[in-house]
């Protein structure tokens, strides 16, 4: 008889895990408080697919994840009447504020065979004539009198690194619905519009979950993929004491602006990481520019204790900080009087690197700390979590001998100890959405 797995969460990560477990013969049930899959933080993801990370292992996972989006229809193997999520391959440009900036990223690209190009400033100007290439840092708060002063940095940026295969998913909710169709075709089930109120135990092992309306679901295995609620779920399970790395919810704003006049940013723009201004931006449907923060030290971070209770309105200070900084790089960027975009929560670990691991409670697993930078990895995460669950349930002591995950699309083995709940904080992390 197949084992029953409850996956808490029906975002892109939870659904990807369910699909791969279903294909391994497990009976899966996704539970989510929302009325449809992909309606939580997944729906407001920028859904960027890029490969710039702070370690070889996390870069390899992103490159592996790209191949799922590249071959999305084949991976799904089913049709969705709503259509198929499209991968927009616009490329990713990382601006360099010094000649040796991004050197470690290039090392990882070369080690993994990720194609990239070195762009000098003439190439950037030719491709993106709307960019001001002057150095603009250091970044200060928008209410600082020096915000509008000329930069103390002299000269221009030092070119950039361009990855042509990078891009984004235009409709993250549709991508998640695509996964739902594939899961149901494989025999998986969903309980939507339901809340998990407790994690049940029996004989020292997880035995299921308690839901609202006094319902309980028996399960051999429970996987926490609850996004911004992950910390609360881990608390319910009583596994926090065994975790050196924990997660919490962070409020985020991403802003949408019109494309500059006389430039079709939707079709000619590229996804750009700008560490000089602590920004990233990418093309958006409707000839718009999506702008997000790279977490400069001068900007406050808003941590949220209750994911059901946070301000979903735009804040004037954050709106001005992000769009005015963006206007320094793109001087002709139109700035409307009213803010638009999305406000939601990220599920963030202490070092912004996700936790893909078992827990101290046998049968309880975690795929958490993922919001903001793991959407791109969903296909790969589904597979590695299914491998992890299967291995541990068949006797692997993952804490003593971490699973060595063999990637399916690239010639790389990833030591899953990198994503352990017991790891030390990765000091080379950006401690930001860049991971």
Residue 212 — very low, low, confident or very high, per pLDDT cuts 50/70/90? very high
The predicted-structure confidence for 378-421, as pLDDT tens digits, reads as follows 999 999 999 999 999 999 999 999 999 999 999 999 999 999 99
Q: For residue 378, give both structure tokens.
A: 């969903």
* CB-CB contact of 130 with 332 (8 Å): yes
Average pLDDT, the chain: 95
Residue with the two structure tokens 């994911």? 307
Nearest residue to 78 via CA among 164, 181, 177: 181
Residue 44 and residue 342 in contact, taking contact as beta carbons nearer than 8 Å? yes
Q: How many CB atoms lie within 10 A of CB 164?
A: 14
Give, rounded to a whole angstrom, the gap between the first and last alpha carbons of the chain. 40
pLDDT value at 191 more than 70: yes
pLDDT over 90 percentage in the chain: 93
Closest CA relative to residue 192, chosen from 34, 24, 395: 34
Residue (of 6, 291, 315, 12) closest to 142 by Cα position:
315
**HSE of 161, CA atoms in CB hemisphere, 13 A:** 25
Instruction: Report the alpha-carbon distance of residue 416 to residue 405 in Å, rounded.
Output: 7
* Residue 118 scores a pLDDT above 70: yes
What stretch of H or E contains 343? strand 341-349
pLDDT attached to residue 222: 99
DSSP string covering 246-297, please?
-EEEEEEEEEEEEPPTT--HHHH--EEEETTTTEEEEEETTTEEEEEE---T
Q: Which two tokens mark 396? A: 């692997």
How far apart are the C-alpha atoms of 291 and 336, rounded to whole Å? 14
CATH homologous superfamily for 4-86+170-246+351-419?
FAD/NAD(P)-binding domain (3.50.50.60)
Q: How confident is the model at residue 150 (pLDDT cuts 50, 70, 90)?
A: low
Segment 278-312, tens digit of pLDDT: 999 999 999 999 999 999 999 999 999 999 999 99
- C-alpha to C-alpha distance for 239 and 8, rounded to whole angstroms: 15
The CATH fold of domain 92-164+250-343: D-Amino Acid Oxidase; Chain A, domain 2 (3.30.9)
Q: What are the residue boundaries of the structural domains of the chain, listed by start?
A: 4-86+170-246+351-419, 92-164+250-343
Q: Are 278 and 326 in contact (CB under 8 A)?
A: no
Residue the block writes with tokens 């370690």: 55
SS3 412: coil
Across-strand partners of 148? none
> Within its chain, how far is the Cα of 143 from the centroid?
30
Burial of 134 (0-12, 13-18, 19+ CB in 10 A): middle
Phi, psi dihedral angles at 295 (to 5 degrees): 60, 60
Ramachandran region, residue 265 (left: φ > 0; alpha: ψ -120 to 50; beta: rest):
alpha
Per-residue pLDDT tens for 29-43? 999 999 999 999 999
Cis before 138 (ω within 30):
yes
Confidence tier at 204 by pLDDT (50, 70, 90): very high
Whole-number Cα distances in Å, 284 to 66, 166, 258, 274, 287: 19, 15, 9, 17, 6
Dump the DSSP string for 111-163.
Answer: HHT---EEE-HHHHHHH-TT---B---S---TTSGGGGSPPSS-SB---EEEE
Cβ-based burial of 286 (10 A; exposed 0-12, middle 13-18, buried ≥19)? exposed
């Amino acid at each position: 008889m197949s084992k029953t797995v409850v996956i808490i969460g029906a975002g892109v990560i939870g659904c990807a895990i369910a699909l791969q477990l279903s294909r391994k013969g497990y009976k899966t049930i996704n539970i989510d408080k929302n009325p449809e899959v992909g309606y939580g933080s997944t729906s407001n993801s920028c859904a960027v697919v890029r490969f710039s990370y702070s370690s070889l292992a996390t870069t390899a996972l992103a490159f592996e994840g790209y191949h799922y989006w590249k071959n999305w229809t084949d991976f799904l193997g089913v049709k969705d009447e709503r259509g198929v999520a499209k991968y927009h391959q616009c490329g990713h440009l990382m601006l360099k504020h010094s000649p040796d900036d991004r050197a470690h990223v290039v090392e990882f690209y070369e080690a993994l065979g990720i194609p990239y190009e070195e762009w000098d400033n003439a190439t950037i100007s030719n491709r993106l004539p709307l960019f001001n290439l002057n150095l603009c840092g250091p970044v200060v708060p928008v209410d600082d009198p020096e915000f509008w002063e000329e930069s103390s940095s002299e000269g221009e940026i030092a070119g950039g690194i361009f990855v042509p295969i990078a891009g984004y998913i235009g409709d993250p909710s549709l991508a998640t619905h695509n996964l739902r169709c594939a899961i149901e075709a494989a025999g998986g089930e969903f309980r939507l519009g339901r809340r998990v109120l407790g994690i049940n135990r029996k004989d020292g092992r997880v035995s299921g979950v308690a839901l609202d309306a006094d319902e309980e679901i028996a399960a051999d295995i429970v996987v926490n993929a609850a996004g911004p609620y992950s910390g609360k779920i881990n608390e319910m399970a009583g596994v926090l004491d065994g975790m050196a790395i924990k997660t919490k919810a962070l409020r985020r704003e991403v802003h949408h602006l019109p494309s500059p006049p006389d430039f079709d940013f939707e079709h000619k723009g590229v996804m750009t990481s700008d560490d000089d201004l602590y920004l990233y931006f990418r093309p958006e449907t409707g000839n718009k520019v999506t702008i997000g923060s790279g977490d400069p030290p001068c900007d406050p971070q808003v941590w949220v204790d209750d994911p059901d209770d946070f301000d979903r309105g735009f804040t004037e200070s954050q709106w001005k900080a992000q769009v005015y900084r963006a206007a320094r790089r793109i001087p002709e960027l139109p700035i409307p009087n009213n803010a638009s975009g999305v406000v939601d929560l990220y599920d963030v670990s202490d070092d912004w690197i996700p936790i893909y691991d078992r827990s101290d409670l046998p049968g309880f697993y975690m795929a958490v700390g993922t919001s903001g930078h793991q959407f791109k990895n969903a296909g790969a995460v589904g597979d590695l979590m299914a491998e992890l669950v299967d291995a541990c349930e068949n006797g692997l002591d993952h804490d003593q001998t971490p699973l060595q995950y063999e990637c399916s699309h690239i010639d790389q083995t990833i030591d899953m100890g990198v994503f352990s709940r017991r790891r030390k904080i990765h000091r080379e992390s950006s401690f930001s959405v860049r991971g």
